[in-house]
Amino acid sequence: MRFSIYRYNPETDEQPYYQDYELDDALIGNEMMLLGALEKLREQDPGLTFRSSCGEGVCGSDGMNVNGENKLSCITKVSELTQPVVIRPMPGLPVIRDLVIDMTLFYEHYHTVEPYLKPTPAGVSIDLDHELLQSPEDRAKLDGSYECILCGCCSTSCPSFWWNPDKFHGPAALLAARRFVVDSRDITTRERLESLDDPYKTFRCRNIQNCTASCPKGLKPSQAIQQLKSLMLEKQVD
Amino acid sequence: MSGLLTGLKAHLWQRISAIYLLLYFPLAAWYLNQHSFATLQAFKQAVLAGEFWMITLLALLLILVHAWVGMRDILIDYLPRKIVLVGLSVLGLGLMLVLLNLLYLTLSLIQN
């Protein structure tokens, strides 16, 4: 099987380039994932650099652009890919080396939306003797948001994020924002929505849907962003 | 309309104007189809008759609002960051000129 992999080492290379690799078909089983193939290729070329950890599609560390689509290599079957398999780092963020990108900006946006529960006014601590109860219906509203593993496949496939990576929060951060906006236990819904009311932070989303198409967990960030816009409208009008 | 229609307000006005225009154009087509435009005077009478001129003026104003929001989004997305402000200023001036022209046209029609 043939692979064409993006290579770039800023310490030694002036420009990025693609390197071709060949992997014996006998080494590739029907169930082999791309991460397994990359590990085999790294045995041939120990300098080949990529991130990986759990190998189960849970940690979200091995996002990469495979044949033009952002995917997690650990849950992408090699047998389903067309040859040559062109592998690049996810677009839109700086490359550290080969397939490893600098996700600082991505995490900064996530941090900005304050992705944690704020069930009490500022300065008031939580009463630890009592649980923060939630009805099954309210809990169900969190489905489709909390499962995000922050792999970055969505944000780095979003043209609006490519155009304004420092200002547009991107689908992943906005999905997280939606998760806390709809949480019945959070008391800062209005403040959260007001902080998102900005021509760049939320409203750069042009509903392109690349985020939804690329999410390896099957989530729908685009729908979540539209819901945020609707909620902003409701809170402004009521 | 603070901040020249940005964020949520822009989102809202874009939808309000879109819905209005979606209703206006078929209505205007149907209404104007009832009249003959053999002369300029006949056209003026048809346009200025009843409440149609007010509905039309509102439609023209909402086209400007819709154009501002849509064009502003395109400029922010596609122009290099350094010249976005210049682009937006040119767009704003252009739309202002269209607005002034529109008001002049309306006043002329009413006076004549």
B contact test, residue of A195, A203, A231 with most B CBs within 10 A: A203
Nearest residue, CB atoms, A198 vs list B7, B73, B78: B7
Does residue B7 have a pLDDT over 70? yes
Where do runs of H (alpha helix) occur along chain B? 2-5, 7-33, 40-48, 52-78, 84-111
Does B4 contact chain A (CB < 8 Å)? no
Residue B39 domain-assigned?
yes
Confidence class for position B52, pLDDT limits 50, 70, 90: confident
Residue B54 domain-assigned?
yes
- Is the CB of B7 less than 8 angstroms away from the CB of A164? no
B17-36 pLDDT tens trace? 999 999 999 998 898 888 77
CB pairs under 8 A between A and B: 33
Residue B40 domain-assigned?
yes
- Is the CB of B7 less than 8 angstroms away from the CB of A202? yes
The nearest CA of chain A is from the CA of B17 a distance in Å of 16
Q: What pLDDT is attached to residue B1?
A: 34
Quote the tokens at residue B41: 């005077």
Does B90 contact chain A (CB < 8 Å)? no
In this structure, what DSSP letter does residue A26 have? G
Helix (H, G, I), strand (E, B) or coil at A216: coil
Does residue A27 have a pLDDT over 50? yes
From chain A, pick out residues whose CB is under 8 angstroms from the CB of B10: 199, 203
From chain B, pick out residues whose CB is under 8 angstroms from the CB of A164: 76-77
User: How large is the average pLDDT for residues A184-191?
Assistant: 93
Tell me the residue range of the domain where B90 lies.
7-111
The CATH number for B30's domain is: 1.20.1300.10
The nearest CA of chain B is from the CA of A235 a distance in Å of 11
Within 8 A by CB and 6+ apart from B15, the residues are none
The domains of chain A, with CATH numbers, are 2-101 (3.10.20.30), 104-237 (1.10.1060.10)
Q: What pLDDT is attached to residue B17?
A: 96
Residue B2 domain-assigned?
no
User: How large is the average pLDDT for residues B88-99?
Assistant: 93
Does B51 contact chain A (CB < 8 Å)? no
Residue B1 domain-assigned?
no
Cα A197 to chain centroid, rounded: 22
What is d(CA B111, CA B103) in angstroms, rounded to the nearest whole number? Answer: 12
Number of domains observed in the structure of chain B? 1
The nearest CA of chain B is from the CA of A223 a distance in Å of 16
Q: Which residues pair with A18 in a beta bridge?
A: A6
Whole-model pTM? 0.87
Helix (H, G, I), strand (E, B) or coil at A43: helix
The percentage of residues in chain B with a pLDDT greater than 90, rounded to a whole number, is: 46
